[in-house]
Structure 1
């Protein structure tokens, strides 16, 4: 019987257990999107995870409009990531870089240009900028002649990630950001080859994944999807018709692993898709036979049952890893868990507070 503490192989990445650390944007980089030394301590503290999926990392200035978030498009950023990945490896951990383009969710005051999306649209709500909280801006439609350059940015970021010492990459195709915006008919009203049918809407996902595979090899490439449910104003009228065939396409390409950010009816967190529709993981499991990772507020007991059932091969935990750097050991010994302080989740101004100051269990 498979347990959470059994090892698993994701392509070329050996993972010592099936308790993964989900991507968590913590905003401790510089305004120039350069990682900072404190990030090495933070990730090394959590190196007992079977795999660390890094916080979302910008592939370009155009795609990174979150304040104090890191990037990986230039040499200075690559050099700053090297001590972070080394710190994780020195503790016996594995870490992949999550590649991010925020699409319509960026702030032009951060990127210096108007947001881009599949079609002209505006995300609901507000974004934090260096000048304070501001409403999201109208995004312009990405031109057809810009797409090859976008794909090249992803491939360049993947190569940079390997140079920086990451064990692989995860393509962020979830949570209402650019690729997810292309997947869903609520945000994609294009009439060219990237819009309309489900196959056209996941064309960009396919082309970017192919570019990543071409750049660093399929054995180092994973993808994150958030099938069904409204998320950050991004929605699809029939999620199964796009996400299930998209998952099969990823399997056919040889993608090493797939993570699903699952939905719930309550939408208890901003990144949680809101829906009463049945979860698509069982249908995706039928067409994606490489390792499948699930993520959605699992307890240890729920995660254990899910892995034992074979529905998932591993479970990614997000917020629990913030307050519990030794989460794997706490699970193993059934120790109490610490609830993290949400006021310190984000922001370089918090420094170590709520970031590297959570102690291991005694």
Structure 2
């Protein structure tokens, strides 16, 4: 058996299903912020090119789109709460579908991660606890502002905005949506003790802190059907200043409550197959589990994350979500299947700003210049075929 044969037989490349959706492989392109929408949140034509280039993924989860104006995080982030947003995303989903792909859209409210210079509004959050880091704005990084504590009416209206955004996503041609309850954004802020100091029904106890996420997901599932809804969580992740405080206590009941809704999938960020909490989540979650492996630069350079993905499949995951490998390799599935070298991510700045450079200009294998043919050497038994050397040579 050749190395290529061994690679191609990996479970990563098996066809599978996500509910009624047929997937050609188990690789998911993870949602990644790319900041290429217009200032009004409308997806641009270049975004259609970018995602269509990566349509060989089993499933694409498009970058986070905001469900309302106050939920905007950074400049040039797409949205999904106005008709022009729907029309812009429709161009993207049409391009991906024409290329043979399938897409979900991630719905993300920034909560305290935002700035008036980005949205024109003061950010809102479960409690008035400011982000500890500067915020990117059109004029550069600025100090964060203290968010307003959400009122009960604002909680209800935000839940309704998520449901409306999900309906808009389906109208825009997405197969479904992923509710973002991870990475320090609004729903995660409700889960975490460090950002949720409320004493009402949305704070304090585990049941109180998971309530907002459950209400959002239920509303989205009722709006478009639970089979079209995934949820992303990041247990223990401290990005964006998050301090959960009781990670092991909060996620099993959250996952158990989500499991009752019959959702399409649960997406676990930075999943570790040796982590007892990951194993507990797998035991509690009865449906499709999407796992995002922890990938060092060395791991990506050496194998593109294939080994880490296979380890998670062996630990019970059903689909494997990858971010940066897909960012730099539009044909990642082919490269992993054949063991071909991967393009490295060239410039961190270009991940979050710019145009084609660092976005749609990463080459696929088919775009690379062909290696010129080298004439075969004669067999040792036919040395007479070699040209005679002159005295000067």
Shorter-chain TM range is over 0.9
How far off its partner does 1:187 sit?
A: 0.9
The 3-state SS of whatever aligns with 1:170 is strand
Answering whether residue 69 of structure 2 is matched by residue 61 of structure 1, we say: yes
The 3-state SS of whatever aligns with 1:294 is strand
| Corresponding residue number in structure 2 for 1:161 | 169
Q: Deviation per CA, 1:148-167: give whole Å up to 9, x if none.
A: 11011000000000000001
* Correspondent of 1:336 among 320, 325, 341: 341
Gaps of 5+ in 2: 1-8, 296-304, 367-393
How far off its partner does 1:253 sit?
A: 1.1
| Corresponding residue number in structure 2 for 1:292 | 289
Q: Deviation per CA, 1:30-81: give whole Å up to 9, x if none.
A: 1111100010010000000000010011111100131001000000010111
| Corresponding residue number in structure 2 for 1:268 | none
Q: What are the equivalent positions in structure 2 for 1:1-362 lying under 5 Å apart?
A: 3-262=11-270, 278=275, 280-298=277-295, 299-307=305-313, 309-341=314-346, 342-347=348-353, 350-362=354-366
Q: Which runs of 4+ in 1 moved over 6 A?
A: none
CA contact (8 A) 1:66 1:106 kept: yes
Q: Deviation per CA, 1:280-322: give whole Å up to 9, x if none.
A: 2111001002011111334111211321x14211110001111
The 3-state SS of whatever aligns with 2:136 is strand
- CA gap 1:151/1:303 in 2 versus in 1, 3 angstroms: same
The 3-state SS of whatever aligns with 1:34 is coil
CA distance in 1, matches of 2:24, 2:139: 43
The 3-state SS of whatever aligns with 1:47 is coil
The 3-state SS of whatever aligns with 1:160 is helix
CA distance in 1, matches of 2:22, 2:258: 21
Q: CA RMSD in A?
A: 1.5
Q: Deviation per CA, 1:147-196: give whole Å up to 9, x if none.
A: 11101100000000000000100001100000000011111111110001
CA distance in 2, matches of 1:5, 1:50: 9
How far off its partner does 1:11 sit?
A: 2.5
CA distance in 1, matches of 2:270, 2:336: 22
The 3-state SS of whatever aligns with 1:259 is strand
CA distance in 1, matches of 2:358, 2:22: 30
- CA gap 1:128/1:317 in 2 versus in 1, 3 angstroms: same
Mark the structure with the bigger radius of gyration.
2
Q: Deviation per CA, 1:311-346: give whole Å up to 9, x if none.
A: 211110001111101000000000001111223111
Aligned length: 347
CA contact (8 A) 1:11 1:218 kept: no
How far off its partner does 1:112 sit?
A: 1.2
CA distance in 2, matches of 1:297, 1:36: 31
CA contact (8 A) 1:228 1:279 kept: no
- CA gap 1:355/1:2 in 2 versus in 1, 3 angstroms: closer
How far off its partner does 1:262 sit?
A: 2.2
Q: TM-score, normalised on structure 1?
A: 0.93
